[in-house]
Amino acid sequence: MIRTVQSVEELKTLCEAFASLRAFLDAHPEAHHRILQKLYRDEQIIGFAAFEGDRATGLFAFRQYFEERILELSEWITDSESAADEMLAYLKEAYSPGQVEFTFRPEEMLLHAALLRTDATVYPEQMDMRLAHRPTETDTSGVALLSERYLAQYCALHDAGSDAYLDGEEVASRPETFRVFLAVEDGRVVGYLDVTHCDETNNISDLYVDETQRRKGYGRKLLAKAIEMNHPKEMTLQVDIDNEPAIRLYEKMGFEKIPNRNTIDAIWKI
């Protein structure tokens, strides 16, 4: 049975019960404290508990975006396969139509397996990388910022070649958040890089070069220009762990792997 946690005090009691179980402490260090802290700070966090009879078998927290009908996973604590499946079944019944977004560690095998039993889109495992030093390469010829002149080409290439969460129009409509760099050859957009620019640490959300235009250095040029304009702020990115060509490129451009920060993303339209 899934029950909505109605108050901070109820959630605190459940967190303390989970904290007394060695298995939960080992698998989810400090997760019960994080749920409490988030609930205190953010009124959009909603908590759920799974029960078998009177025994709690799972504790879950999601951030709820009411206008967009989107739930975003905040914390997930269970060692019960049935509790994981029951939580997802509850979300599908209670929040349809809508969307649930998940970001979790690869060690969360129960959640991963439960999502694979639904029709959710589960993306490959990714590693985090951060810019450790600026590259010596400065050639950025052929790179331009997104403008109205190239907007249609950018959107067409973005949506045809990328599996990014946001499509080209959505990125272009958020200039306060994203800076978009284009690789242009003879007036044709052949590649792009989307990166945030509004934080002290900005994140590359997407880098793509048309398959017919690869091995011409456009990936390096796009990265060099993005790093140049982002300076002196920090920069991070995520890359599939099996994408060795991309990892080698990022390492050559000054990025290094961040240990113990791998994640898996999933999007479930319900």
pLDDT, tens only, 150-174: 999 999 999 886 666 678 999 999 9
Calpha distance 64→4 (Å, rounded): 13
Same fold, 2-122 and 129-262: yes
Calpha distance 229→138 (Å, rounded): 12
Tell me if the pTM is above 0.85. Answer: no
What's the whole-number mean pLDDT along residues 5-28?
61
**Does the pLDDT value for residue 239 go beyond 90?**
yes
Residue predicted with more confidence, 66 or 80: 80
Residue predicted with more confidence, 14 or 229: 229
Report the CATH number of the 129-262 domain: 3.40.630.30
Pairing mode, if any, of strands 234-240 and 121-122? unpaired
Contact 138, 176 (CB under 8 A): no
Predicted pLDDT of residue 76: 86
Predicted pLDDT of residue 32: 54
Calpha distance 213→185 (Å, rounded): 9
- Please give the CATH topology (third level) of the domain spanning 2-122: Aminopeptidase (3.40.630)
Q: Domain segments of the chain: what residues?
A: 2-122, 129-262
